[in-house]
Amino acid sequence: MDKKAEIIRRYFQLSDLASHDEHARDQIIALFASTAVVQGANGVMADTPVKIASFFTHFFEDNQELHHLCRVNVTDGDYQAEWAVAGRKSSGQLFAFHGFDTYQFDSDNQITYLQVEIRD
């Protein structure tokens, strides 16, 4: 079993819970190394533990309900997840997106880099 691929799958499972479950949100944040960088699809970059925590807190406050499907692809040690999500914003607006996440990990299997990209 590929530990890094399992971590990515867990990230998406927790993301479906984190809008209503603070413990799930905290578990997502704990997947990241203290030196991690997160680049959101909206261009926001979080490069400290405080900024990463704030990024996810705001994300899950804005997105009140999420339902993800994902497929993890590993090519020559590079990790990417193709995903689709349907959700509901805090305003009540419904949305659906398709995209790709790119991941890097440290030797402790913590995420050191996450780039989120929405595609058509």
Which CATH number does the domain housing residue 67 bear?
3.10.450.50
> What integer is the mean pLDDT of 32-40?
97
Query: What is the identity of the amino acid at 94?
Result: L
How open is the CA angle 101-66-7, to the nearest 5 degrees? 45
Average pLDDT of the residues of the chain? 97
Question: From the CB of residue 41, how many other CB atoms can be counted at a distance below 10 Å?
Answer: 14
Distance CA 19, CA 101 (A): 20
User: Which pLDDT value is given to residue 44?
Assistant: 94
Host domain of residue 33: 3-119
Residue-wise pLDDT tens digits, 54-101:
999 999 999 999 999 999 999 999 999 999 999 999 999 999 999 999
Q: Which of 5, 2, 1, 4 is nearest to 70 (CA)?
A: 5
Q: How confident is the model at residue 120 (pLDDT cuts 50, 70, 90)?
A: confident
Give how many domains the chain has, as a whole number: 1
Residues 6+ apart with CB under 8 A from 113: 36, 37, 38, 102, 103, 104
